[in-house]
Amino acid sequence: MDTALKALIFDVDGTLAETERDGHRPAFNAAFAEYGLDWHWDECLYGELLAVTGGKERMLHYAEHLDPQLLDDPHFPELVRTLHRAKTAHYVRIVEQGGLPLRPGVAELIDEARAAGIRLAIATTTSPENVNALLRTSLGPDSRDWFEVIGAGDVVPAKKPAPDIYQWVLDRLQLPASACLAIEDSDNGLRAALGAGLRCLITRNGYTADQDFSGAWRAVDQLADVSLKNISVHLDRL
């Protein structure tokens, strides 16, 4: 099997930047306040809610467990969509205010890959508007074009830990999984990548440090701890 590295496929949330605690969480809370809902997700509760990927799915899960009478309201599905639209607008505003810098080593790894002709892609559960805002503000206005394929949000109905988003990206890259490396921060992301047959490099963060990453190709505390040369040499030996 040809295992030479041809593409890196990046997760976004928690991998490129600490978007969950400092971006999505306050954006959800701002949307709840805007629509008069007495929900507030503190840092600790939000860490638990991250078990469910996808913003709409996360709100539905929260309502099911803590406020189930809301589900009897025929307007609830529309409320979730409205809240999610508002949350996305708040998130983009937070990003544009410069509140979400890239994690250490991310920009350098992307630069190294581009210089080496390694193709780049994204496989994320979050909405495309959020990805575009983060790339634009952190890597520059043209950086979206550096990524040949961006799989985001609802393009596949089953979100991570289902492998569908990675399969969707691989189909469009027209590469076998063996030629790519997924870069993730969470157990849900790892399961999605492994399910698609990919090798996966984990960059842990505050919310995911204690998760089980057995099955990962390698797990580090930040991408500054790896270099593309090092990745390629070791992957090619597998």
In the complex, which residues of this chain contact ligand XBP (CB under 6 A)? 11-14, 20, 24, 53-55, 87, 124-127, 130, 160, 186, 188-189
For the question of residue 13 being annotated catalytic, the response is yes
CB of 236 to Mg ion, least distance (A): 26
162-201: contacts with Mg ion (CB under 5 A): 185-186, 189
**Could you tell me the two tokens for 189?**
């992301």
Pick the closer one to ligand XBP by CB: 167 or 186.
Answer: 186
The CB-of-195 to Mg ion minimum distance in angstroms stands at: 15
Task: Report what 137 binds from Mg ion, ligand XBP, none; CB cut-off 5-8 Å by kind.
Answer: none
Specify whether the CB–CB gap between 9 and 1 falls below 8 A. Answer: no
Q: Which is nearer to ligand XBP, 65 or 237 (CB)?
A: 65
Nearer to ligand XBP, 48 or 236 (CB): 48
The DSSP bridge pattern shows strands 7-10 and 180-184 to be parallel
- Residue 54 near which of ligand XBP, Mg ion, none (CB within 5-8 Å, type-dependent): ligand XBP
Is residue 22 annotated as part of the catalytic site, yes or no?
no
Binds 20, which of Mg ion, ligand XBP, none (CB < 5 to 8 A, cut-off by type)? ligand XBP
User: Cβ-closest residue to ligand XBP?
Assistant: 55
Choosing from 2, 13, 22, 212, which is the catalytic residue? 13
Closest to ligand XBP by CB, 17 or 139? 17
- Of 2, 11, 38, 221, which is the active-site residue? 11
Total residues in contact with Mg ion, by rule CB under 5 A: 6
Query: With binding defined as CB under 5 A, does residue 18 bind Mg ion?
Result: no
Q: How many CA atoms lie within 13 A of 35 on its CB side?
A: 20
| CA distances in angstroms from 45 to 20, 40, 57, 86, listed in the order given | 12, 9, 16, 21
Q: Which is nearer to ligand XBP, 112 or 184 (CB)?
A: 184
CA distance 198 to 183: 10
Q: Contact positions toward Mg ion, by CB under 5 A? A: 11, 13-14, 185-186, 189
- Residues serving a catalytic function are 11, 13
